[in-house]
């Protein structure tokens, strides 16, 4: 199955979308235009200012604690690692399957609703037919009232199904995001400790205004590819091939096609 990392990635730097009752909109984890310096599904706007202040204080504390030695700082593109991690792709595939199943069930409910609505309209139209006996008209009116009650029950079922579906998917998105971020942070922590880094900065982080948090870095001590490679080392068959290799193979295929022309 072809997976798409966009839904899960979009939730990576923002809070879970509040469920609505009008339609199922389970989009998976998404990355909005703005994000905090500490990406996560439970990020709130006030927390961004606290997070930025926390990083500034952390740098000051590190420098003050080691006046005779320069801090050893590493960088990582956390968004790239998150997006390209095989568990992110697998999570998106699972969410896509669940959304397809929800859409199928929702269509069944809507089809039932439409059928009962048509039956109700017919009963209402024939309930006042003077060509039939008064007993028959009363029978049709009673049947129309029962259909109306059935319509209301279907409406309640549809509303409850939609709300529960959205809440369940939102909960899964949050849990999977937290689990994936825990994997990444544990590995980054181990690598940083082993190499003696005093600080690891996310170069993909943005301020509350949507501007880059890190304005410049020289590219040294970049842990991105090393962390990503180690995370994907245990990927199942079919998810092990790095995206870079896929891109290269795609470019070669295009070159061959152009050569044939």
Render pLDDT for 99-139 as a digit per residue (tens, 0 to 9): 999 999 999 999 999 999 998 888 888 887 777 788 888 88
* Residue whose C-alpha is closest to residue 125's, from 144, 148, 145: 144
Q: Are 239 and 80 in contact (CB under 8 A)?
A: no
Q: Are 235 and 112 in contact (CB under 8 A)?
A: no
How close are the terminal C-alpha atoms of the chain, in Å? 31
Render pLDDT for 176-226 as a digit per residue (tens, 0 to 9): 999 999 999 999 999 999 999 999 999 999 998 989 999 999 999 999 999
How remote is the C-alpha of 215 from its chain's centroid?
27
Render pLDDT for 149-178 as a digit per residue (tens, 0 to 9): 999 999 999 999 999 999 999 999 999 999
Q: Are 99 and 24 in contact (CB under 8 A)?
A: yes
Q: Which residues pair with 200 in a beta bridge?
A: 74
Tokens 């998810």 sit on residue: 239
């Amino acid at each position: 199955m072809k997976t798409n990392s966009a839904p899960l990635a979009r939730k990576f730097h923002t809070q879970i979308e509040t469920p609505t009752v009008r339609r199922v909109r389970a989009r998976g984890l998404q990355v909005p235009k703005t994000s905090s310096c500490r990406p996560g599904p439970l990020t709130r706007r006030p927390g961004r200012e606290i997070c930025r202040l926390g990083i500034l204080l952390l740098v000051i504390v590190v420098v003050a604690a080691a006046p005779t030695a320069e801090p050893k700082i590493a960088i990582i593109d956390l968004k790239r690692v998150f997006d390209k991690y095989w568990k992110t792709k697998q999570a998106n595939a699972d969410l896509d399957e669940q959304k397809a199943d929800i859409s199928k069930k929702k269509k069944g409910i809507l089809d039932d609703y439409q059928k009962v609505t048509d039956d109700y309209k017919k009963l209402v139209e024939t309930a006042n037919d003077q060509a039939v006996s008064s007993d028959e008209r009363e029978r049709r009116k009673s049947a129309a009232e029962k259909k109306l009650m059935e319509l209301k029950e279907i409406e309640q079922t549809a509303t409850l199904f939609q709300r529960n579906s959205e809440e369940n998917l939102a909960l899964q998105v949050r849990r999977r995001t937290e689990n994936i971020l825990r994997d990444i942070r544990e590995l980054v922590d181990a690598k940083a400790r082993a190499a003696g880094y005093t600080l690891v900065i996310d170069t993909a982080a943005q301020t509350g205004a949507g501007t880059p948090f890190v304005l410049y870095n020289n590219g040294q001590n970049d842990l991105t590819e090393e962390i990503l490679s180690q995370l994907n080392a245990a990927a199942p068959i079919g998810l092990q091939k790095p995206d870079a290799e896929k891109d290269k193979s795609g470019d070669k295929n295009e070159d061959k096609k152009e050569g044939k022309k």
